[in-house]
Chains A and B, each alone.
Chain A
Amino acid sequence: MSIGFFPGDAVVKTAQARYAVEERGVKRPAIISQTTAYGQSGRAELERNLTAIGASPVLQEALDISVKDMLPVLLKVQRSGADALLLHLHSGPTALIIRHARALGLDIPIIAGSAMHQPETAALLEPAELNGVCAESGSSPVSDDSEEMREFVDAYRRSFDREPDAFALGQYDGAKMILAALAAGAKTADEVRTHLQTASHAGLAMNYRSDGKGNMAHSAVIICYGAEDRVPQIVKRYENLTGTL
């Protein structure tokens, strides 16, 4: 069995759907996803979650990764009367659709997928374009003000010369847990696995606990960007998402 330290689509897509509907009052969302394997599974989770809480998508469209002009799909979103744009796209297309939505003057909320929080995504956009964009993520190291997190972020920047994202933090937490397992006397891979699957483990990003299927991470955050810089704020935390609403 493989062990995952990063929340799966079932978890983060629940957070994305719930944030849109419960916090932003979205009733008629549009889903834009990618025609890749990543896009295909995330889109299904997003649709399932939205429908379950009574906000069936009014428009769903899957885009090829090579699409350069987001105008056609944005025009469709406009015409569909959607009241929010929910994205499940890779990094480049996420930035591209935000840029083109801003150029078009589309003024409905944009709630993006985890790719938004990869540092290279925000780097593609101007802060003015990012203003008001929200996204789901497993965690957001750069947004967190706690002492421990700031230490992690500084150390990461020093070591890798780039901004840490949720994946980086997930890997860090995972490695720490394995080290803790070894310190607690685990000698074989199986013993490490057993250690990880019992009890809960406090990590920097969240508290980890196995669901018996190897998924350790069940928390997600929603981050939003302001107009000044490319550092998002955490606006909502979701804990213990089972992935089954």
Chain B
Amino acid sequence: MPFPLGAAYALVALGFVLVLNATTAVNFAHGESVVAGGFTAVALTFFLPPDLRIPGLILLPGVVVVTAVLGLAIGALAYLPIRNRPPVSVFVTTIAVGMIVANGLNATFGAAPRTAPPLIGVGTIDLIGVSISRQSLVIIATACVLIGGLAIVLQRTQLGRQFRACSQDPEMARAIGIRLTRITLLSFALGTAFAGAAGLLLAHQFFISPADGAPLILKAYIAVVIGGWGSLRGAALGALLIAVFEVGVAAISSQPLAEGLLYVIVLVVLFLRPQGLLGEPQQVRA
């Protein structure tokens, strides 16, 4: 079942787009933010009583807070000082932040994979005759709740309207009194917290190691291109598509072939439909 991984990819891709829409810049440290979330969960586990088997989901608020702070730091150090330079500069600064996070974790925790406690219990559940792992269900459910929450915030709240105004027309947003810097930093915090949450969700079922960031940012990046640059709905859908594709193709051919085909498809999509499979929702400024 590709959906637990797909659901986690979707969280990662959504966080990527949140930052993208606020800044028009690609945050290359986003994969490392997932890793940071996973390792935050691993570290927080030390503070849980070991024998009580407390569900890992209880760590979610802690992980979200820590990674949101990381997001603020990324925004303040790697974006704000160079916001008026060409977008290429932000690529480089966020690559640098990614290096710092990944190698910092590597030096602190070691290169080996770690695991966080199970999110809620272990084992499988019978669902209409099909046995499904409890972990997978919780991953999917948590991702759905977070994505739904984001949708409500963006559509129904004043803050959400400000987010959307900034992504559609930053000059106009500034002109009507929205504090652009504040919204930008909030986007970094929220986007990175989404990545962090994905890290927690992944950490038990799929482990987490310091080198996991690069493949994750690549998947998110591809998801956003396939789903349409800047589209939140497209990013979530693109992430699911990638997960289904990876699992489906690898199961009938082989893993390296599935991966290779994914890259070929990216190149073909960029060639034929640079606006993404599902179209671009707005004019591209990056």
Contacts and interface: CB of A to CB of B under 8 A. Distances in A.
**Direct touching of A and B (C-beta under 8 Å):** yes
Interface of A: 35, 61-64, 66-69, 71-73, 75-76, 91-92, 95-96, 99, 103, 105, 120, 123-126, 128
B interface secondary structure, majority = helix
A103 B133 CA distance: 6
B5 A95 contact: no
Contact of B255 (A64, A105, A123): A64
B195 interface: no
Interface residues of B, number: 35
B113 A67 contact: no
Contacts of A99: 205
Q: Which of A64, A66, A75, A92 has the most CB of B within 10 A?
A: A92
Given A72-B246, A103-B136, A124 B5 contact: no
A61 B254 contact: yes
B112 interface: yes
Nearest to A63: B255
Contacts of A67: 255
Given A61-B255, A63-B255, A105-B124, A69 B209 contact: no
Contact of B206 (A68, A105, A120, A123): A68
A123 B207 CA distance: 12
7 contacts: A64-B255, A68-B215, A69-B206, A72-B248, A72-B258, A75-B251, A105-B124
Which 9 pairs of residues, A with B, have the shortest CB-CB distance? A72-B250, A92-B113, A72-B251, A103-B133, A75-B251, A66-B215, A68-B206, A124-B115, A120-B112
A75 B1 CA distance: 10
A91 B112 contact: yes
B247 interface: yes
B147 interface: no
Contacts of B136: 103
A72 B122 contact: no
Given A120-B112, A124-B113, A128-B122, A68 B255 contact: no
A69 B211 contact: no
A130 to B, nearest CB: 13
Contacts of B250: 72-73
Given A66-B211, A68-B206, A95 B113 contact: yes
A105 B205 CA distance: 15
Contacts of A61: 254-255
A76 to B, nearest CB: 6
B104 interface: no
B256 A68 contact: no
Nearest to B202: A68
A95 B257 CA distance: 23
Contact of B112 (A68, A92, A126): A92
Nearest to B250: A72
Interface in B226-254: 243, 246-251, 254
Contacts of A72: 246-251, 255, 258
Contact of B207 (A63, A73, A75, A92): A92
A131 B135 CA distance: 19
A62 B255 CA distance: 8
A69 B122 contact: no
A197 to B, nearest CB: 35
Nearest to B6: A69
B259 interface: yes
B280 interface: no
B131 interface: yes
Nearest to B259: A64
Contacts of A62: 255-256
Nearest to A105: B131
B274 interface: no
Contacts of B211: 66
B74 to A, nearest CB: 23
Nearest to B112: A120
B123 to A, nearest CB: 8
Interface string B83-116: 0000000000000000000000000000011110
B87 to A, nearest CB: 27
Given A72-B246, A72-B248, A95-B113, 14 more contacts: A62-B256, A64-B255, A69-B206, A71-B247, A72-B250, A72-B255, A72-B258, A91-B112, A95-B115, A96-B113, A96-B206, A99-B205, A103-B124, A123-B115
Contacts of B207: 92, 95-96, 124
B210 to A, nearest CB: 11
Contacts of B254: 61
A124 B206 CA distance: 10
Contacts of B124: 103, 105
Nearest to A75: B251
